[in-house]
Every structure is written in C-alpha cells, then in structure tokens.
Structure 1
C-alpha cells in the first residue's frame, strides 16, 4: 500500500507539474522538459539541510504559500544567469547577467505565480479541493536567514515531504527547479483525497 500511495501521488504531481511546464512553455514559446519528480519523506528537522545542499549553486528563488484543505509552500529556484535568460526569452530583451532590475523581479514574480498556481491548482483539482494562494515573493541572493526561515511552518512537525522536479528549457539552456513542501499530515490528506476520488469513480 505504501508503494501504491507514492505511485498515485507521483502520478498526480506529474500532472500538476506538466500543467506548470505547459504554462511556462506558452510564455517562452518553446518546449519545456520536465523530469519525474523526486518525493522524499524525511524528518522535518532535516529539510533545512537538504534544501540548502540542493540549492548551493542557485541564487534566485520565487516562493509562494498555499492553504485550505492542504497547505504548504512551492518554490522555484534559478541561478541568476538562468533567471535573466528566462526574462529575456519572455520579454525579448537583452540584459546583463549582473543586473536584475526591479521590473525584472516584478516579472519573475508574475512568472512564478503563473507556474506555481497552475501546478498546485491542478493537483488540488484532482481531489476536488479548493486552495488559496498567498502572493509570491522573489528573493535574489539566498542568505542564511532564508534557510533559517524556510520551514517555520513545519518546525513543530515530525515528518515532512519534499517534492523536487527539474524544468529545463533546452533550446535556451535555462534550467530551474520546482519544489513543493508539505507536512506529513497534509501529504496524507492528499493521499486520502485521491483514493476517495478513485473509489467514487469506480463505484
């Protein structure tokens, strides 16, 4: 049953990330390649170090909280070079990699909102649940404070779920990572909602 649960969640998350990739593809007008997401169940206290290790080479992140039936956080990570290349691909501008202007950050905010809301809305639709989204936040140059504050909402929990997927725009050599962070409790709610929908459909 454990493997069945992971398989069904992975399938639904694939659908959500696939929709997010389609949204990004429409923005850049070229194909976006995604990898099968990694789903890691770990002690909540270990997520800080895991994220920090995974993201040591990246310096721009767009984060967004969601809540209601399930709650958690989505985060898009890019290097500064990839973030600028993404802006150039969408806006048709030529920027220096050393410059990420206020207007560029605002555009990244809109891009992240589009991608992350599309992803989580599709996942919530699979269990007929409605979720609400906070406004996304863009941060350039990840600091130690970021890692310290990343999981404030999960610090009281025993277990947490980290879902990681790579999104690559091959033609433009742009690579980013989409993370979904859930508590173990919310992960189980997602599983229960999926099984309920499956059983209802088959009855």
Structure 2
C-alpha cells in the first residue's frame, strides 16, 4: 500500500464517519467531533490487547459487516456515555457505570445500529459495493471467536481501521472508540477498486 492509497482509504473513511457522526449527534443531542482515523496493520496479539484494554472499562457492542466485504465493528461506550445517553434518550437518572440494564442495552444496540448503518451505507456508495450491517449484539469478550471470524487462517493479517470519535458534553470531551476490522481479502478488494479507478478525481469529488 502506497502513501497515496493510504490517504485515499483514510479519506473514504472520513466521509463515511462524518455521516456516522452526524447520525450520532442527532441521537445524543450534542455536538460530535470526529478525529482523523488512523490506519494500521497489526499482529493478532496486538489486536487482542487493544480490544481487551477497552473492554475492561467499556460496554462493548459488536456489529458484523457482510456482503462483498467481511468485517466487524466494535463500539466502546464508557460509563459517562451510558449515563448521558440514558438521561437524554431514556429520561433515566443513572450513575456513571458500564453495568447496564435491559433497557439501556437496547439503547446501546440501537445507537450502534444507527452509527454502523450510516458508515456502511457511505462505504457502499463510495466503493460501489453490496455490503450491509448485521444486527448488532453485545460483545461477550470472546476475542478468540472475533479473530476466528476475521482471520480464518493464522497466516493472514487483518487490517484495522482504528477510529476514535469524540462526544462533547458541555465542553468535556468523552471518547467513544469505534474499531473497524476488515480481513485481508476485503482489504485487497478495496485496494483493487482504488487502483482500478480514478478514485480521488471522480468518486470523492462526487461524494
């Protein structure tokens, strides 16, 4: 992957994430700031370490991407997010905790569905791909199953789009980490699309 290809992929993600951030802002009733996504190729051990670190103090929602591409998103809701969203969307006064009840879990699932849906729709439009988001579910912390889903062969490496969005609440920035995983086969498809078309000149200009 050349630096130009890396920049194009990052810009494609920026476009998709901007729509996702707008969708989240409507739900959260607050301004959402988007950090430029980083793009890294990591070993499986490094991936698992990152996921475990976030999972230790966040409520985690998983959504799979299916169709022409195979991927997964993990959204990490902090206790501050759970507290804020419960107050805004459910009219519930709760403590700052990632221990959620059934109603709060349903809310987080719906928010993840909205954000992932907005992202996947934009990616499908830009890349001219038939992809869709599967119904989200609560991530149970089984990183082995996650890796098996993404990397059926130990000889392959997945591509991680590491994305952080910031939810601003009265001037206090609270991170809402969103990890986007694509396997190598999907990454190769994306690169082939970019290499076979004047992406920067035509597709992104139209978006």
TM-score, normalising length: structure 1: 0.86
Counterpart Cα distance in 1 of 2:87 and 2:187: 37
Counterpart Cα distance in 2 of 1:180 and 1:108: 17
Q: Which runs of 5+ in 1 are unaligned?
A: none
Residues 147-178 of structure 1: CA deviation (Å, up to 9, x unaligned): 23221211415111111221122125432111
Q: Which runs of 5+ in 2 are unaligned?
A: none
Range that drifts further, 125-134 or 149-158: 149-158
Corresponding residue to 1:166 among 160, 164, 167: 164
Q: How far is 1:57 from its partner? A: 4.7
Match of 2:95 in 1: 96
Task: Name the SS for the 1:159 alignment partner.
Answer: coil
Match of 1:16 in 2: 16
Number of equivalenced pairs: 197
1:117 aligns with 2:113: no
CA distance 1:120–1:58, shift in 2 (3 Å): farther
Q: How far is 1:117 from its partner? A: 1.1
CA distance 1:24–1:158, shift in 2 (3 Å): same
TM-score, normalising length: structure 2: 0.84
Counterpart Cα distance in 2 of 1:197 and 1:125: 15
1:185 aligns with 2:185: yes
Q: How far is 1:7 from its partner? A: 0.5
Q: Is the 2:71–2:182 Cα contact (8 Å) retained in structure 1?
A: yes
Select the structure with the greater relative contact order (CA < 8 A; seq sep ≥ 6). Answer: 1
Counterpart Cα distance in 2 of 1:40 and 1:105: 30
Counterpart Cα distance in 1 of 2:187 and 2:7: 13
Q: How far is 1:191 from its partner? A: 2.2
Counterpart Cα distance in 2 of 1:30 and 1:97: 18
Q: Is the 2:120–2:133 Cα contact (8 Å) retained in structure 1?
A: no
Let me know the Cα RMSD of the aligned residues.
2.3
